[in-house]
Amino acid sequence: MAIPLATNHPGNAADASSVNALLSIGPEDKGRIRILVVDDEHTLRESCASVLGLEGYNVTVSGRGQDALGLLKRQPFDIVLADLFMSQVDGLALLRAALATSADTIVIVMTGNPSVESSIEALRQGAWDYLPKPFSAQHLQIMIGRAAHTVLVGQETREHQTELERQHAVSDKVTLLGTSAAFRKAIELARRVAPTDASVFITGESGVGKELIAQFIHQHSRRSSRPFVGVNCAALPEALLESEMFGHRKGAFTGAVRDKPGLLETASGGTLLLDELIEMSKPIQAKLLRVIQDGIVRRVGSETTDAVVTVRFIAATNGDPEAAVQSGALREDLYYRLRVVPIHVPPLRERPEDIPLLAEYFLSTYWVRHRKKGEAFPKLSDGAIRALCVHPWRGNVRELQNVIEHVAVLAEPSSTIRPEDLPLAAETRPAAGANPASLISTLEESYHVARERVIAQFEMQYLTWLLSRASGNMSKAARIAGVDRTTLYRLMERHGLQRSPNPAWVVEREAAETPQDAS
C-alpha cells in the first residue's frame, strides 16, 4: 500500500531504525504497546496503521470519533494517535476521554492546521505531542518510538513506585508551606499538571521557591523515580552551557579528551529544569527546540544522532518572558512550546499570612540542624512575629530562611526571640509603638480610600499574628483579641482566611529535616 505521507519533514534527518536502536525498544516490548489510530481519512489512517504494524506494534484503527470513544471504554490503550479536527467527536474530546480512562495514556494529536492556539490547547489539556500534517513515515516512526519508550519507562516506574514509597514514605518529598489564596492557586496548578507530561513555565521573583515548585511537580509525576536535573542558563557562558546541555564528542574543542553525555541525556525519562531560560543564547534556543520537537540529541562536534531522549521540560525565570519574546531575546516558538501551563509564584510580601508559618517551620528545622539533640526549642515572641510580617522581604523566602537560620544559630535554648534579635535592616523595622499599617504610603489617595486601605492591612496583619499566636484555636484567638468568635469569623471571611483550625498548607517533609533553599 502506498503511504501518502510527506517525505520532506525535518524529522527525516534521523534514521528511524537508529532512533529505535538508541531507545532500546525490542520486538517483544513493541508487541506489548497498544496503539489506537483515529482519523476520518481512510488512506491516512490505514497508512499509519500499516507503518506501525510493520514496526511490530499492536495497532487498532477507527474512522469515527464516536466509535473510538467506545473502544476506549472497552479496553485500555497505551498510545492514542488522533486527528484533531473530525466531525461529531473531535480530537480534543478523544483526548479527554482517553486521559479519563487512564492518566498514563499518551495522546498524540494530528492536525492539518497546526496553529499555535490549537496546538497549545491540545498540549494544555494533556496531549503528549502533536504531528502537523503532512508528515513522513520516518517522522511517525520516531514520534511513536519516543512515545513507546515513555510508556515503557512509566510501566517500570509504577512497578517500583510502591517499593520506593514504602522505603522513603514522605520524608524525601518537597515542603511547600502557605495558606494564602495566591500561593494555594500556584500549588493547585502544580498538583494538577504534575501527573501529565505537559511543559510548565514558572515565573516569580528570585527567592520565591520556583525550583521547589519544579521539584514538587517532578515528585508527583510518573517520572518521580527518574532524574530531576536543573541547569542555570544564566550561570554558564554560551559555549560551556551548550556542552553541558547537549554533551560533546572527543576532540570537539580544546580539553574535550573523551565523549561526554549532556544533561539532556542524563535527564532522559525524568525532568529537566531550565532555570533563567531567557538568558539562554538564540543559537542554543534553536538547538533546544529541535530536542523538544523530536527528542534527538546531537552532541557538540557530532554529525550524527547521539541519543533520543524523552524529557519533561520545566522552565523558570525571574524576568518577564513575554517582554523577552517581544524584544527578540527569547524565541516565540520555544516560548509557546514550554509555556503549556504557566505558574506564577507570588512574592512573600504579597502573602504576609504565610510568614508566621514559614518562620516557625524554619526555626524548628534549623534548630535541629545546628543544635545538640534534646536542646529545648526557642520561641518567637508576638513582637518578633509582627516585625517579620511587616518586613518587605526583598529576598523573599530565601531571605526569611537566612534570617531564621541566624536566629537558630545564636538563640539560647528555651529563650524567647524578640524583635531586636532578628537581623533585619533597621529602616524596615517598625518604630516602638508604631502601627505597622501606618508605613504604607497614602499620599496620593483620598482620606477615605487611604483609611480603608490602612484598616484592611492592619486587620490582615493582626489576624495573621492572632491565628499564629493561638495555633489555629478559634476560642483562644477570640479570648486573646477580646472579641466574640462570630466577630472573629466575620473578619476572617472578609479577608479570605480559612475558618478551619488546620489551615490548608502543604507539608510533605518531616519537620526535623533540613529545608531546601528557595529559588
Predicted pLDDT at 461: 75
The whole-angstrom separation of Cα 379 and Cα 203 is 34
On the CB side of 31, CA atoms within 13 Å amount to 3
Predicted pLDDT at 446: 65
Same domain, 362 and 399: yes
Same domain, 334 and 204: yes
Task: Give the Å distances, CA to CA, from 433 to 170, 418, 423, 429, 437.
Answer: 44, 14, 20, 11, 12
Residue 90 near residue 63, CB atoms below 8 Å: no
Instruction: Please check whether residue 516 lies inside any domain of the structure.
Output: no
Predicted pLDDT at 133: 85
Instruction: Please check whether residue 504 lies inside any domain of the structure.
Output: no
Instruction: Please check whether residue 410 lies inside any domain of the structure.
Output: yes
Question: Of 113, 132, 161, which one is at a domain's C-terminal end?
Answer: 161
Instruction: Please check whether residue 140 lies inside any domain of the structure.
Output: yes
Same domain, 49 and 155: yes
Global pTM value = 0.64
Beta bridge partners of 110: 83, 131
SS3 letters for 236-252? CCHHHHHHHHHEECCCC
Q: How far is CA 425 from the centre of its chain?
A: 33
Same domain, 366 and 335: no
Sheet architecture: strand order including 129-132:
58-62, 34-38, 79-83, 106-111, 129-132
Same domain, 238 and 381: no
Quick one: 232 exposed, middle or buried, by C-beta within 10 A (0-12, 13-18, 19+)?
middle
Whether the upstream peptide bond of residue 134 has omega within 30° of 0, thus cis, is yes
Question: Of 328, 346, 364, which one is at a domain's C-terminal end?
Answer: 346
Predicted pLDDT at 482: 81
Predicted pLDDT at 507: 39
Predicted pLDDT at 6: 46
Same domain, 336 and 368: no
Instruction: Please check whether residue 2 lies inside any domain of the structure.
Output: no
Residue 227 near residue 267, CB atoms below 8 Å: yes
What is the per-residue DSSP string for 393-421? -TTHHHHHHHHHHHHHHHPPTT-EE-GGG
Enter the C-alpha cell of residue 154.
Answer: 512509566
Same domain, 330 and 356: no
Predicted pLDDT at 174: 57
Same domain, 156 and 18: yes
Instruction: Please check whether residue 363 lies inside any domain of the structure.
Output: yes
Instruction: Please check whether residue 175 lies inside any domain of the structure.
Output: no
- Please write the tens of the pLDDT for every residue from 394-405: 899 999 999 999
Same domain, 438 and 365: yes
**Helix (H/G/I), strand (E/B), else coil: 427:** helix
Q: How far is CA 120 from the centre of its chain?
A: 17
Same domain, 241 and 120: no
SS3 letters for 334-384? HHHHHCCEEEECCCHHHCHHHHHHHHHHHHHHHHHHHCCCCCCCCEECHHH
- The whole-chain average pLDDT of the chain stands at 81
The whole-angstrom separation of Cα 28 and Cα 32 is 7
Same domain, 148 and 257: no
Same domain, 126 and 192: no
The whole-angstrom separation of Cα 122 and Cα 92 is 7
**Helix (H/G/I), strand (E/B), else coil: 482:** coil
Task: Give the Å distances, CA to CA, from 345 to 64, 152, 197, 460, 497.
Answer: 43, 34, 20, 20, 19
Q: Which amino acid is at 124?
A: R
The whole-angstrom separation of Cα 497 and Cα 463 is 9
Enter the C-alpha cell of residue 375.
Answer: 536542646
Residues in Cβ contact with 75 at an 8 Å cutoff, skipping those fewer than 6 apart? 34
For 222, phi then psi, to 5°, come to: -75, 0
How many domains is the chain built from? Answer: 3
SS3 letters for 56-121? CCEEEEECCHHHHHHHHHHCCCCEEEEECCCCCCCHHHHHHHHHHHCCCCEEEEEECCCCHHHHHH
CATH number at residue 63: 3.40.50.2300
CATH number at residue 482: 1.10.8.60
Instruction: Please check whether residue 173 lies inside any domain of the structure.
Output: no
Residue 259 sits at the vertex; the CA angle it makes with 255 and 261, to the nearest 5 degrees, is: 110
Note down pLDDT in tens along the chain; length 519 residues: 334 454 334 344 345 555 555 566 778 888 889 999 999 899 999 999 999 999 999 999 999 889 999 999 888 899 999 998 888 888 899 999 998 888 889 999 998 776 667 777 888 888 888 888 888 898 899 899 888 888 887 777 666 554 544 444 444 455 677 888 889 899 999 999 999 999 999 999 999 999 999 999 999 998 988 999 999 999 889 989 999 999 998 888 888 888 889 999 999 999 999 999 999 999 999 999 999 988 889 999 888 877 888 999 999 999 999 999 999 999 999 999 999 999 999 999 988 888 988 999 899 989 999 988 888 899 999 889 888 988 889 899 999 999 999 999 999 999 999 999 999 865 444 433 444 444 444 445 566 666 676 777 777 777 877 777 776 777 788 888 888 877 887 787 777 665 443 333 343 433 334 455 555
Provide the residue range defining the domain that includes 353.
349-494
Q: Which of these, 266, 228, 223, 227, lies nearest to 244 by C-alpha position?
A: 266
Predicted pLDDT at 435: 45
CATH number at residue 198: 3.40.50.300
Provide the pairing of β-strand 228-232 with 271-275. Answer: parallel
Predicted pLDDT at 263: 94
Predicted pLDDT at 69: 92
Give the single-character DSSP code of 391: S
Integer distance in angstroms from the first to the last C-alpha of the chain?
55
- Please write the tens of the pLDDT for every residue from 430-455: 433 444 444 444 445 566 666 676 77
The whole-angstrom separation of Cα 166 and Cα 250 is 43
Residue 182 sits at the vertex; the CA angle it makes with 179 and 183, to the nearest 5 degrees, is: 55
